[in-house]
A and B are shown apart, each in its own frame.
Chain A
Amino acid sequence: MDAPEEPLPPVIYTMENKPIVTCAGDQNLFTSIYPTLSQQLPREPMEWRRSYGRAPKMIHLESNFVQFKEELLPKEGNKALLTFPFLHIYWTECCDTEVYKATVKDDLTKWQNVLKAHSSVDWLIVVVENDAKKKNKTNILPRTSIVDKIRNDFCNKQSDRCVVLTDPLKDSSRTQESWNTFLTKLRTLLLMSFTKNLGKFEDDMRTLREKRTEPGWSFCEYFMVQEELAFVFEMLQQFEDALVQYDELDALFSQYVVNFGAGDGANWLTFFCQPVKSWNGLILRKPIDMEKRELIQRQEATLLDLRSYLFARQCTLLLFLQRPWEVAQRALELLHSCVQELKLLEVSVPPGALDCWVFLSCLEVLQRIEGCCDRAQMDSNIAHTVGLWSYATEKLKALGYLCGLVSEKGPDSEDLNRTVDLLAGLGAERPETANTAQSPYKKLKEALSSVEAFEKHYLDLSHATIEMYTSIGRIRSAKFVGKDLAEFYMRKKSPQKAESYLQGALKNYLAEGWALPITHTQKQLAECQKHLGQIENYLQTSSLLAGDHHLTEEERTYFCQEILNFASQHTDSPGHKVVLPMHSFAHLRDLRFTPANAVVHVGGILSVEITVCSQMPIPVRVEQITISVHFSVEKNSYRKTAEWLTKHKTSNGIISFPAETLPFPASQNSLPALELYEMFERSPSDNSLNTTGIICKNVHMLLRRQESGAALDSPSGVALEDGPHVLQCGDVTLAPGANTVTFRTQAKEPGTYTLRQLCASAGPVCFVLPHLYPLAQYDVYSQEPQLHVEPLADSLLAGIPQKVKFTVTTGHYTVKNGDSLQLSNVEAMPVLCHAENRAVIYSNAREKASEASLRVQSSDKVTSISLPAVPAYHVIEFELEVLSLPSAPATAGESSALGVTEAQRKHKDTPKAGHCMATTDHKVSIECPWSIYSTVIALTFSMPFRTTHALLSSGTRKYIQVCVQNLSDLDFRLSDSALADVGGSADLQLRPLNLESQQHICSRQSVFFVWELTWTREPPPPLHARFSVGFRPASQERLTVSLKPYTYEFQVENFFTLYNVRAEILPPAGMELCRTGALCALEVAITRLSDLLEVDRDEALTESDEHFSTKLMYEVVDNSSNWAVCGKSSGVISMPVVPQATHRVHMEVMPLFAGYLPLPDIRLFKYLPHHSAHSSQLDADSWIENDSLSVDKHVDDQLDSSSIKSRGSVHSAASSEHKGLPMPRLQALPPGQVFNSSAGMQILVIPSKDDHVLEVSVT
């Protein structure tokens, strides 16, 4: 109630501001009601509907009730809203018409007039009724009358402007009700007033804002106006709306600054461009910084002042809104934008002043936030504040550098002056913070006061920042601050502290592959290490830097020179070596072996050519480049033979290394590529697809821990390998870019050599590439000399010259002039010597080296081939012609008749074996100059021909047929065929029936020759004949060597015809021709042609009187089932051994088919009875019958009906099986002894007339 006494200047402490409501009329009454009223009014919220579509809000109204005074009413043009009375209430307790008329009405009228004069329409008349009072007075007018009167008098149309409040001080339901009505009315009216007045104010404000392009417009004035609105909102506890007002102001100002920067300057803005003189930071502890406000009001504020004030207000409101984190965020933005704006407006700021301001502001904001939050909240919201921390750190650092507090020597006088100036700009410490020990002001002052204090503060801040960053997981940011800290330490000359920070940052950058930060950090690190005297590390870092393309040429050269200097200085101390990784220095691009297959024989020269890309900016002279080699003896000796190696290594000898092993292996780069393979799994039962998938073959590479990979980069991982095997190359100058270095070595021991390490050394500095990957290795082998002899074609043919290839693999043996191969001659296989033989010499890699002539000398026993002089590990190849003589005694042909039969039988039994050629093996022993043992080589020759002979008879005339079958793939020309009797008996003559002297025999064809055999003496002696035929390959017209003819010897015995068998079939009696189904007569006449001969003298011969007779068995066989033999088909006859003695046999046969049918075969055997007296002929006959039948069947199986010989032999074999049994034996007659004169005869059979099926049973 005392506030209204002095309305101006209002001490504005926001929370205490309430909308003003004036009270006129009965002051006593109001005083009595006031406590209840002020208590009741804010109790219930009221909905405030707002203009401009703003969302309605529920607000709790509070009011400051003041006594009505005319001065309180705003004058025209006064924009102050805070002091604006929003509602005027007239209180009256009058219940008496008289009184009303006398005083109240006048008073009311006066009040109304005053209000009208100020065009205020927000008023309310409250009539308080008091029952107690009413009761005292008897002459009471009806209660309503006063109210009605008032309503009549004053509230022309707005009857709601008059309210009755009944018994306000009593506690009755009626009172309560009337209170409620009153309060509702009051609130409604208040809000109406707000809406109206604020709307008007806002309109005015907007109008003012629209005028901003006018020249005289002042931002400060407008600022004050809009701030007024903000104050009102704040007063109404609408902090959100208040904040909006400030944000609008902020945005407006920012826009102006931006426009100014774009050249569109407003006049008023130049005012803000005055030089900054004070930089005392934000003041957030007071709700309103009246100092600054006044400055703004007086239009004397600087940009910083304005910004500070604005932010302080925003900060206050945000804190009211419980949004401290937004404060932090906005603070950072504000600080950044202020700095930018000052730059943009080209405001002159003393150096360091802004830093001070920012630093102070940061700390102020932080402390303000800390002040209103508890510890836990702070910790969970570090993310918001950490930016301020780091900004403060940064600024303090800048100040430190500026004031010379970071250098080793401490600040000089200039620095001190600057410090003093800066401190002066801070002004005096503000009273609010004077008592707190940790105020930003004090901190800054202390920090700037001395080097030590600065260090302490800076370290505190930095560590705090790093800790915060780390705790929220912003490792990268933490490393960045750490780098700053390292820089600081470097300035303070304490590199050991800096190093850990640098290493930490570097590790982080390396892990993520950031090239530029790496370079920068490494540069710092190099300096640090130099100071620390960590020579090895320094050199390593230098080498990295020298090869870093992100640095300038000079810098790289500098670092390179550093290494070289070190190298040249420390040459005198040989024991110490500095081992550095190679990858920074140079990059191994490829490696090339010569010979390309990387295989050399012992003593051979191997050269390894490597291409190294030097990454140094200048040429570097390297004293030595070595490759250490791991030697391993391989167990598998086969691997080292020349053939294997030449076959299996097809590479071109170049091994390329992965393009760039980056000095900073980014995590994804260092990983090997995925090796994926398809995988199918089928079920074993039905081969259906069970599973399919992709298999990653190098999981172990991909999934291994990252650390172990990174450890490779550390210098400790590089160890110099000292092996006994080293490739060396001395004094090489590596120019920048690609260089080629060639190593030469002479292979010593056989085995596999794996290249392990590449090391380039200059003085004590060694650059080592610890592993060569992909694996590069070369093989050294040693080989025994070898000789191979193999035919040129698939198989060697006997009888004609064949080429044989000799391959001499010299191995470690050097063939000298005069060395020769000594071939022991085999008579049957002479080596054909040509005038000129050429040998081709190859190197072991199958490259043709040279050609040399070969001398072949043959003597009786040996053929010596003198080899040309050839160095070791070469191959000599030459061809020789050899001839296998066909007439080699052991093999040339079957000489015995038995042999012939055997061969024929074999041939007949297995007709498919026709391709089998008779083979001959010749063994040649060769003496090689390198060995005391002779090598034995077997050559297999095949006979190109097979010959068979046959004896043909015509009556008593005999012919010899010789069949020559060509088994080879070649065509031959046969000539000069001859058959000679070598038995030497003059009784036999052979008359050739061959017309052509020369015959062509194609591959796999046969040629037949026939001679007629005549004799002069009967019986003729056995023939022992030799067939010979000259042959040569048809393709070769002329041959240099005369070839031996092909010969074939055989023997023919007992070819003299003894018996003539004649068979005849006669049609049945009374018929002209035979008919099917009709029995015909078969007449067989067996005639003896000669006297008793030697051949007849055997067991079958029986002598009676002077007659000799022999027992023969005949047999009628029809294999083609043309005939059915009725009755006995065989029988034994006794044949008198007398010329022209004839035995006739009559049989009945029945033709089964119609047509010309050949006659059944009649076979004749010699019947040798068993030496038993009891054997009767009948018995024997029955025996024979059985036997013959069994024989018959047997023959049938053999599918050959024409061969009597074969039959006989089988039979004899069969009978020999029956040896010891009391049974007769059958013996075949030799082929020449029986002549079947009816062979080949046919007889016409006509079909029978009746068509009925003929059933014949043959017994």
Chain B
Amino acid sequence: MVHTSLDVVDEKISAMGKALVDQRELYLGLLYPTEDYKVYGYVTNSKVKFVMVVDSSNPALRDNEIRSMFRKLHNSYTDVMCNPFYNPGDRIQSRAFDSMVTSMMIQVC
């Protein structure tokens, strides 16, 4: 499902690429609603894509919450990337990143 939603990500990015490049909104919004889940997307300036799948029956998750979650995720991801011992492309094994994601999950559920 995440995979499929990448279609939409691509579509949105290419649509946006023509628009303002510098003031681009990183948050892509709802990508791919299905009956049970909602897929949200976020793409960084370096075209790193984050995709989040949430249970669509969870009413607490509005656009704004998702947006802030993505922002947090992005910050944490940036920290991981700044680690000189991290090889881009490897699996992320940062404890800080993990705990951040976990805390986000807990907060939501």
Q: Which residues on A are within 8 Å of B, measured CB to CB? A: 258, 261-262, 332-333, 336, 339-340, 343-344, 383, 469, 472-477, 480, 509, 512, 514, 517, 668-669
In the complex where A332-B33, A333-B33, A339-B35 touch, is A474 in contact with B7 (Cβ < 8 A)? yes
A480 touching B4, Cβ below 8 Å: yes
Instruction: Choose from B6, B8, B11, B57 the contact partner of A340 (Cβ within 8 Å).
Output: B57
B4 touching A476, Cβ below 8 Å: yes
A473 touching B11, Cβ below 8 Å: yes
Mask: chain B, 53-70; 1 = CB below 8 Å from A; 0 = not: 000110100000000000
* A469 neighbours in B (Cβ, 8 Å): 7
A343 touching B3, Cβ below 8 Å: no
Instruction: Choose from A383, A514, A669 the contact partner of B3 (Cβ within 8 Å).
Output: A514
Given contact pairs A336-B35, A469-B7, A477-B4, a sample of 5 additional A-B residue pairs in the complex whose CB atoms are under 8 Å apart: A262-B59, A333-B33, A340-B57, A344-B57, A480-B4
**Is there a chain A Cβ closer than 8 Å to B84's Cβ?**
no
* B33 neighbours in A (Cβ, 8 Å): 332-333, 336
* B3 neighbours in A (Cβ, 8 Å): 476, 480, 509, 512, 514, 517
**Is there a chain A Cβ closer than 8 Å to B34's Cβ?**
yes
Cβ distance A325 to chain B, nearest Cβ, rounded Å = 14
Of the listed residues A262, A336, A473, the one surrounded by the most CB atoms of chain B closer than 10 A to its CB is A336
A383 touching B11, Cβ below 8 Å: yes
Cβ distance A475 to chain B, nearest Cβ, rounded Å = 7
In the complex where A261-B59, A344-B57 touch, is A476 in contact with B35 (Cβ < 8 A)? no
Question: B38: nearest residue on chain A (CB-CB)?
Answer: A336
* A475 neighbours in B (Cβ, 8 Å): 7
Within 8 A of A (CB), among B7-26: 7-8, 10-11
Mask: chain B, 33-59; 1 = CB below 8 Å from A; 0 = not: 111000000000000000000001101
B8 touching A343, Cβ below 8 Å: no
CA A509 to CA B59, docked complex, whole Å? 32
A476 touching B6, Cβ below 8 Å: yes
Instruction: Choose from B7, B34, B57, B89 the contact partner of A668 (Cβ within 8 Å).
Output: B89
DSSP class of A's interface residues: helix, strand, loop or mixed?
helix
Cβ distance B10 to chain A, nearest Cβ, rounded Å = 8
* A332 neighbours in B (Cβ, 8 Å): 33
* A512 neighbours in B (Cβ, 8 Å): 3
* A668 neighbours in B (Cβ, 8 Å): 89
21 residue pairs from A and B, CB less than 8 Å apart: A258-B59, A262-B59, A332-B33, A333-B33, A336-B33, A336-B35, A336-B56, A339-B35, A340-B57, A344-B57, A383-B11, A473-B10, A474-B4, A474-B7, A476-B4, A476-B7, A477-B4, A480-B3, A509-B3, A668-B89, A669-B89
A343 touching B11, Cβ below 8 Å: no
A477 touching B57, Cβ below 8 Å: no
Of the listed residues B3, B34, B56, the one surrounded by the most CB atoms of chain A closer than 10 A to its CB is B3
Cβ distance A913 to chain B, nearest Cβ, rounded Å = 64
* A262 neighbours in B (Cβ, 8 Å): 59
Cβ distance B53 to chain A, nearest Cβ, rounded Å = 13
The A/B interface has a contact count, at CB < 8 Å, of 41
Cβ distance A829 to chain B, nearest Cβ, rounded Å = 68
Cβ distance B16 to chain A, nearest Cβ, rounded Å = 15
* A343 neighbours in B (Cβ, 8 Å): 57
Question: A254: nearest residue on chain B (CB-CB)?
Answer: B59
* A473 neighbours in B (Cβ, 8 Å): 7, 10-11
Question: A262: nearest residue on chain B (CB-CB)?
Answer: B59
* B7 neighbours in A (Cβ, 8 Å): 469, 473-477
Cβ distance B91 to chain A, nearest Cβ, rounded Å = 11
The 6 nearest A-B residue pairs measured at CB: A474-B7, A258-B59, A477-B4, A476-B7, A480-B4, A476-B4
Cβ distance A1219 to chain B, nearest Cβ, rounded Å = 92
A336 touching B4, Cβ below 8 Å: no
* B59 neighbours in A (Cβ, 8 Å): 258, 261-262
Cβ distance B40 to chain A, nearest Cβ, rounded Å = 14
Question: B89: nearest residue on chain A (CB-CB)?
Answer: A668
CA A333 to CA B7, docked complex, whole Å? 19
A336 touching B89, Cβ below 8 Å: no
* A517 neighbours in B (Cβ, 8 Å): 3
Within 8 A of A (CB), among B72-109: 89
* B11 neighbours in A (Cβ, 8 Å): 383, 472-474
CA A477 to CA B10, docked complex, whole Å? 12
* A340 neighbours in B (Cβ, 8 Å): 35, 56-57
CA A340 to CA B6, docked complex, whole Å? 24
* A383 neighbours in B (Cβ, 8 Å): 11
CA A340 to CA B10, docked complex, whole Å? 28
Cβ distance B60 to chain A, nearest Cβ, rounded Å = 9
CA A383 to CA B10, docked complex, whole Å? 13
* B10 neighbours in A (Cβ, 8 Å): 473
CA A333 to CA B57, docked complex, whole Å? 13
Cβ distance B47 to chain A, nearest Cβ, rounded Å = 13
CA A509 to CA B8, docked complex, whole Å? 16
CA A668 to CA B11, docked complex, whole Å? 22
Question: A472: nearest residue on chain B (CB-CB)?
Answer: B11
Cβ distance A395 to chain B, nearest Cβ, rounded Å = 9
Cβ distance B6 to chain A, nearest Cβ, rounded Å = 6
Cβ distance B17 to chain A, nearest Cβ, rounded Å = 14
CA A336 to CA B38, docked complex, whole Å? 10
Cβ distance B97 to chain A, nearest Cβ, rounded Å = 19
Of the listed residues B11, B56, B59, the one surrounded by the most CB atoms of chain A closer than 10 A to its CB is B59
CA A39 to CA B35, docked complex, whole Å? 52
Cβ distance B64 to chain A, nearest Cβ, rounded Å = 15
In the complex where A336-B34, A517-B3 touch, is A474 in contact with B8 (Cβ < 8 A)? yes
* B56 neighbours in A (Cβ, 8 Å): 336, 340
Cβ distance A1139 to chain B, nearest Cβ, rounded Å = 107
* A258 neighbours in B (Cβ, 8 Å): 59
CA A262 to CA B60, docked complex, whole Å? 10
* B6 neighbours in A (Cβ, 8 Å): 476
CA A469 to CA B3, docked complex, whole Å? 14
* A509 neighbours in B (Cβ, 8 Å): 3
Cβ distance B81 to chain A, nearest Cβ, rounded Å = 16
CA A517 to CA B1, docked complex, whole Å? 9
CA A472 to CA B7, docked complex, whole Å? 10
CA A473 to CA B57, docked complex, whole Å? 30
Of the listed residues A340, A509, A668, the one surrounded by the most CB atoms of chain B closer than 10 A to its CB is A340
CA A585 to CA B5, docked complex, whole Å? 32
* B34 neighbours in A (Cβ, 8 Å): 336
CA A473 to CA B8, docked complex, whole Å? 10
Question: B34: nearest residue on chain A (CB-CB)?
Answer: A336
CA A415 to CA B56, docked complex, whole Å? 30
Cβ distance A631 to chain B, nearest Cβ, rounded Å = 39
Question: B33: nearest residue on chain A (CB-CB)?
Answer: A336
Cβ distance A342 to chain B, nearest Cβ, rounded Å = 11
* A476 neighbours in B (Cβ, 8 Å): 3-4, 6-7
Cβ distance B56 to chain A, nearest Cβ, rounded Å = 6
CA A1180 to CA B63, docked complex, whole Å? 132
CA A77 to CA B39, docked complex, whole Å? 48
Cβ distance B22 to chain A, nearest Cβ, rounded Å = 26
* A333 neighbours in B (Cβ, 8 Å): 33
Cβ distance B5 to chain A, nearest Cβ, rounded Å = 8
CA A469 to CA B7, docked complex, whole Å? 10
CA A258 to CA B57, docked complex, whole Å? 9
Question: B14: nearest residue on chain A (CB-CB)?
Answer: A473
CA A332 to CA B7, docked complex, whole Å? 18
CA A1210 to CA B34, docked complex, whole Å? 119
Question: A666: nearest residue on chain B (CB-CB)?
Answer: B89
Question: A395: nearest residue on chain B (CB-CB)?
Answer: B35
CA A472 to CA B15, docked complex, whole Å? 13
Question: B57: nearest residue on chain A (CB-CB)?
Answer: A340
CA A887 to CA B70, docked complex, whole Å? 99
* A669 neighbours in B (Cβ, 8 Å): 89
Question: B6: nearest residue on chain A (CB-CB)?
Answer: A476
CA A517 to CA B3, docked complex, whole Å? 9
* B4 neighbours in A (Cβ, 8 Å): 474, 476-477, 480
CA A323 to CA B6, docked complex, whole Å? 26
Cβ distance B25 to chain A, nearest Cβ, rounded Å = 19
CA A981 to CA B59, docked complex, whole Å? 129
